Amino acid sequence: MRRLLSLLILLFALPAAAGLFDNRPSATLGGLNNSADFLPVREAFRLSLVSTTPEQLKLRFVAEPGYYLYRHRFQFKANDASVVVGNAKLPVGEQKNDEYFGEVEVYYGVLDVELPLQNPDNRPFTLQVTYQGCADKGLCYPPETESFQIGDPPKPATPLTDANGAPNDDTALSWRSVALFFLAGLGLTFTPCVLPMLPILSGVVLRGQTGSVRSFLLSLAYVLPMAGGFAVLGALMGIFGAELNLQARLQSPWILVPFALFFVAFALAMFGLYELRLPQVLSHRLDRLAGSAKGGSFIGAALLGTVSSLLVSPCVSAPLAGALLYISASGDALGGGLKLFALGLGMGTPLILFATGGSALLPRSGPWMVSVRNIFGVLLLAVAVWMLERVLPGPIALALWGLLAAGAALFLGTLEFTPKTSRQKLAQLLGLALMVYALSAWVGALQGGSDPLRPLPRPVSVAGASGVSEGWHTIATPAELDAQLDAARAAGQPLMLDWYADWCISCKVIEREVFADPQIAPRLADYRLIRFDITDSNPEQRALLDRYKLFGPPAILFFGRSGQELTEVRVVGEIDASQFAERLDRARSSL
């Protein structure tokens, strides 16, 4: 059972974890709904002015998970010619090797930008910040410009507008993240480090009496201070991270490699190679403090809860370290405190259930608890590989993913041929799938592949690529689009509108791998094929995006013979040939 549990988590964690942290655009699993699958540009990239002096401005971008900014697309201008904005000081970003655009440098997460400023007269001016980003799912936003009014005397400025016409809020909390931390706390409860808190709660706080209202209140008094201790830690790490900008500093190999080794060390501890404990001197003092607390009282329960958080933290420090690293990168003290408070509540919820409903509600300890530690160990190794991906060549990183999968497969007994039980056979079969993935990753690495979700690079067919633009009419203004729609309606001809830009990587992918596909190209002959080039992203083009409720390319719209859009088959984001063929089938039935 231990091996089976480890395998199940690996099947989801290995390629999925790589996908969560993957920095490359990937094909979506079907057509996307623009409003449901993508954020507005100013929600995807939150920009704020952190500080301003006559000599320097400091800006902060916070990109939502799955979104990234291009380094070469930043522009910073002042509306006053007497104010000189120097070259932006940017940290080293992440390299993306695109087959169409070559090497580009991008930023995920939190990015702090320092702008040298020459404003000797301390004149008020407007700072214009232009940036451009994309989503990993395949959507590229047009260049966006935000303005900040820099006044005199210097004071923190705010963006003039945000997505809703109000100032941006850099400390906006993601309640989804809070919920995920709560679920992570529930998972940590069933580890050999946290379950020993049950006898403390039962024997000292509740004195063996469970199932009453007083038991519930005492357990609550025990759990809330424990969660509060984590909240303080999260808030401090939020402040600490904001001051040092750890996310940007972690881009250096001198930092990434030691941190990766740090996670490997904790993973080995999870596998039981050694124990992580507090120093004996400190541990004995905490034990004496816990023993001297008066059981059965609310003050004693609160004191024991606080002490328990100190006793437990070192034992769960491996996953806790990852949580603190995530919070420090956000630079959000309030959010960090709430997230770790949710983590502590998640750890304490089963304890409250135990106090209220008795021990029958909780599973008994056993060998399965070791499986939980092994699962966390594997996840920590996956985090280490993810961090090393930023400094290692893509094929080597892919080989490491294969090595991790192969190690898990061997642990599950894939190559053992001794008689086994039914569960062991199932684990061995699933381990075989991991071994197949590992072999695919190694073969892909030898061929120059780097994507853990697509370990084997697909051969790109060039047949028909030279004629992919045949039949397409490129336009760039709303008036031209209206004229084409009127002409198609007058002729009773369906129209397909492709939104394109030179800076849109996914547009190139669709043009080469979808429109040029031998199974797709002949089926487009019945359509009037219009490509709207939004490369310039001027105000007229952006207004047209708003008219069709789009954020940016790639997007493909179908119009029937009557000139009405077939909204149910609209495509937003990257799509592959088989999925696009299904859209063509649905569109044909609606023409």
Q: Over the Cα atoms of the chain, what is R_g?
A: 28
Answer whether residue 275 shows pLDDT above 60.
yes
Please determine, for residue 6, whether its predicted confidence score (pLDDT) is greater than 80: no
Least confident piece of the model among 74-83, 465-474, 514-523: 465-474
Worst-scoring range by mean pLDDT, 81-85, 285-289, 381-385? 285-289
Q: Is the pLDDT of residue 186 over 60?
A: yes
Six-digit token string for 144: 């966006």
Question: What's the pLDDT score for residue 192?
Answer: 54
| pLDDT confidence tier of residue 365, bands split at 50, 70 and 90 | low
Mean pLDDT taken over the chain: 74
pLDDT of residue 344: 80
Average of pLDDT values for 395-419? 84
In this prediction, residue 160 carries a pLDDT of 47
pLDDT at 101: 61
Q: At what angle do helices 2-21 and 422-446 cross, to 10 degrees?
A: 30
- Report the share of the chain in percent with pLDDT over 70: 65
pLDDT band at 358 (very low <50, low <70, confident <90, very high): low
pLDDT at 293 over 80: no
Does 318 have pLDDT greater than 50?
Answer: no
What integer pLDDT is reported at residue 452 of this predicted model?
Answer: 83
Closest Cα to residue 130, out of 425, 503, 432, 527? 503
Question: Which of 61-70, 313-322, 547-556 is least confident?
Answer: 313-322
Alpha carbon separation from 218 to 214, 297, 362, 420 (Å, rounded)? 6, 7, 18, 48
Query: Tokens in use for 223?
Result: 């759990």
The pLDDT assigned to 5 comes to: 40
Q: Is residue 295's pLDDT more than 50?
A: no
Residue 173 and residue 84: Cα distance in Å, rounded? Answer: 35
Question: For position 276, what pLDDT does the model report?
Answer: 59
Q: 390 pLDDT exceeds 60?
A: yes
Distance, in Å, from the CA atom of 337 to the CA atom of 325, rounded to the nearest integer, reads 13
**What pLDDT score does 10 carry?**
42
- Please tell me which of 2-16, 141-155, 163-177 the model is most confident about, judged by mean pLDDT: 141-155
Q: What's the confidence (pLDDT) of residue 248? A: 44
pLDDT in tens, 424-438: 778 788 888 989 999
How sure is the predictor about 533, in pLDDT bands with cuts at 50, 70 and 90? very high
Q: What's the pLDDT tens digit per position in 490-526?
A: 999 999 999 998 878 788 888 888 998 889 989 998 8
Q: Would you say 390 and 251 are in contact if contact means Cβ atoms under 8 Å apart?
A: yes
Average pLDDT over residues 3-30: 39
Query: 488 vs 474, 483, 548, 560, 569, CA distance in Å?
Result: 15, 9, 18, 9, 19
Position with higher pLDDT, 217 vs 242: 217
Q: What mean pLDDT do residues 25-48 have?
A: 64
Question: What is the band of 14 on the pLDDT scale with cuts at 50, 70, 90?
Answer: very low
Residue 402 has pLDDT above 70, yes or no: yes
Q: Which residue has the higher pLDDT, 557 or 141?
A: 557
Q: Any residues with CB less than 8 A from the CB of 232 and at least 6 apart, and which?
A: 337
What is the pLDDT at residue 201? 59
Helical ranges in 132-212 per DSSP H: 175-189, 197-199
Mean pLDDT computed over 243-270: 65
- Report whether pLDDT(308) > 80: no
Query: Sorting pLDDT into bands at 50, 70 and 90, what band is 368?
Result: low
For the segment 284-294, the average pLDDT, to the nearest whole number, is 54
pLDDT of residue 239: 63
Percent of the chain with pLDDT over 90: 14
Range from 79-83, 165-169, 201-205 that averages highest in pLDDT: 79-83
* Cα distance between residue 334 and residue 326, in whole Å: 14
Least confident window among 17-31, 48-62, 102-116, 316-330 = 17-31
Q: What value does the mean pLDDT take over residues 327-347?
A: 72
Question: Is residue 260 predicted with pLDDT exceeding 80?
Answer: no
